[in-house]
Amino acid sequence: MTVISSPLELIQLLVGYQPAAVLRAASQLGLFDALTDQPQPASEIANQLAVDSSNLNTLLVALHQLGLISISDDGFAATPFTSSHLRGNSDLDMVIKKEAFFSEAWLELDEVVRSGRPILAPWKERLHTRSDQTKEFLYALDALARFTGPALAELPELVPGRILDVGGGLGTYSRMLAEAGSTIVLVDLPEVIDLARSHLADLPNGSIELVAADIFNEPACGIETESVDAALVSHMLHDYPRESGTELLLSVNTTIRPGGFVVVNDFASDSGPEAFGALFDLMMRVETGGAAHSLETLTEMLLASGFSNVRRSPFPDPITVLIAEKDS
Ligand SMILES: C[S@@+](CC[C@H](N)C(=O)[O-])C[C@H]1O[C@@H](n2cnc3c(N)ncnc32)[C@H](O)[C@@H]1O
C-alpha cells in the first residue's frame, strides 16, 4: 500500500478524474470518428464537429499527450489503437460510456455513505427505464471480460462439459467455453437474453441454450435440477449482500450433478493491486447496493450453500476465481 506523504502525491491523486473526462468528452463529441489515419488540422476537425477550434485544439493536444492520437506538422491523426477500439460504439467506447454514466453516480458517494443505499435504481428496473444505458453497460462488460477477464476455458472443471452460465449477460464466457468444446445453458433476465441471442447468433446451433429466468424467482435458476456438470457464477455475487448471494449459490447448487463443480469469478474486496478491491467494493455500494465480498466471505458463502474443497485458481490479481465441489 502506498502511504501518501507529500502534498504533490495528494494533488496527483485528486486530479485523477481529468484524463477520464478527456476521454469522455472525446467520445461525446464524436471526435474518434472524425479523426482519420491522415493528419488534419484542428480547425478542419472543429468545422466538421461544429465546435470551438481553440478548445478542440487543446483537447487534441491532451489526447496526444495521453498517448491516444498522433500529432505532426499537418495536424492530428488517429492511432491504430484508437481506430480499432474507440470509434463510436466500438468495444472500448462502450467502456467509456459506462464509466461516464457511473462517474456521475460516484459524485454522490457521500450520500451513499450517509444513507447506506445505492444511487442507482435496481438493475431490473433500469432494464426498462434506462434500456439504452443498460445495453451499453452489457456491451462494456463484454469488452471488459474479453480484454481483462480470466481464460476460463483453461479450467478442466469447465471444459469439456455441460455448463450453466448463470447471469451470463451477453455470453462472453459462454462463447469462450462453447468454442473450447463445452455446451452451455446461459440463464439471464428476458431483456438480456434477447440481446444475448443476437450477440451469439454466429455460434453453431445447439452450442448455447438461452434461458430467460429470474434466478431468485425460479427454482434451480429456471433449469432442470442436477442437469449440468458445473456452474459458472461470474460477477454476480458482488451485486448482492451476503445473504442473497448465498441464496443464489444454493439455487445454483441444485442445478449441478453430484460430484460437479461451481466456479465463481469475481473481484474480492481484499484483492489487489493496491486499492483495487476496496474501490470495487465502493463501486458496488454506489451502483447496486451489493458489496464486493472478501475472499474469506466468498469461501464461507460457498461452504454454506453445499460446496466443499474451495480453492483459488492461480489467475493474477485482481481476478479471483474460486472453484468448489458440490457436496455428495
Ligand atoms: C455484472 S453482470 C455479469 C455478466 C457476466 N456474467 C460477466 O461476468 O461479465 C450480472 C448479470 O446478472 C444478470 N442478473 C441480475 N439479476 C438477475 C436475476 N435476478 N436473474 C437472472 N439474471 C440476473 C444481469 O442481467 C447481468 O447480465
- Residue 183's nearest CA partner among 150, 202, 155, 210 is 210
Average pLDDT taken over every residue of the chain: 97
Q: pLDDT value at position 122? A: 93
The span from the CA of 202 to the CA of 217, in Å, is: 31
The span from the CA of 230 to the CA of 252, in Å, is: 9
Ligand 1 site, residue 216, Cβ cutoff 6 A: yes
Q: Do domains 7-85 and 151-272+288-326 have the same CATH topology?
A: no
The class (CATH top level) of 7-85 is: mainly alpha
Task: Kindly state the average pLDDT of the residues 308-312.
Answer: 98
Ramachandran angles phi, psi of 305, nearest 5°: -115, 30
Q: Is the pLDDT of residue 2 over 90?
A: no
CA distances from 30 to 26, 88, 96 (A): 6, 7, 12
C-alpha 3 chain-centroid distance: 29
Q: Is the pLDDT of residue 237 over 90?
A: yes
Where are the chain's structural domains? 7-85, 151-272+288-326
Which CATH number is correct for 151-272+288-326, 3.30.2130.30, 3.40.50.880, 3.40.50.150, 3.40.50.300?
A: 3.40.50.150
- Work out whether strand 307-312 and strand 256-266 pair parallel, antiparallel, or are unpaired: unpaired
Task: Kindly state the average pLDDT of the residues 135-151.
Answer: 98
* Residues pairing with 77 in the sheet: 70
pLDDT-derived band of residue 37, with 50, 70 and 90 as boundaries?
A: very high
* Residues pairing with 307 in the sheet: 326
Q: Is the pLDDT of residue 286 over 80?
A: yes
Ligand 1 site, residue 188, Cβ cutoff 6 A: yes
Task: Kindly state the average pLDDT of the residues 265-289.
Answer: 95
Residue that the C-alpha cell 474518434 belongs to: 32
Q: Which three cell numbers stand for residue 191?
A: 431483456
- Residue 265's nearest CA partner among 225, 304, 292 is 292
Among 236, 239, 265, 280, say which to mutate for ligand 1: greatest number of ligand atoms within 8 Å of CB: 236
Q: pLDDT value at position 145? A: 98
pLDDT-derived band of residue 80, with 50, 70 and 90 as boundaries?
A: very high
The length of the chain, given as a count of residues: 328
For ligand 1, the distance from its centroid to the CA atom of residue 311, given in whole angstroms, is 23
